[in-house]
Amino acid sequence: MQGKLRGWVGENNELASMKFWERVAYEHGFVESKRMPTRRTVRVAEVLRRELAACMSQSLDLEGMLITISSVELPPDMRQAYIYVSTLHPELDQEKALAILMRNRKEWQSSIGRRLGLKFTPQLIFRFDKAVERGDRIMEILTKLELEKKVDPSKDQPE
Band (124; pLDDT cuts 50, 70, 90)? very high
Band (72; pLDDT cuts 50, 70, 90)? very high
pLDDT mean across residues, the chain: 78
Those residues whose C-beta lies under 8 Å from the C-beta of residue 130, and which sit 6 or more positions away, are: none
Contact 128, 98 (CB under 8 A): yes
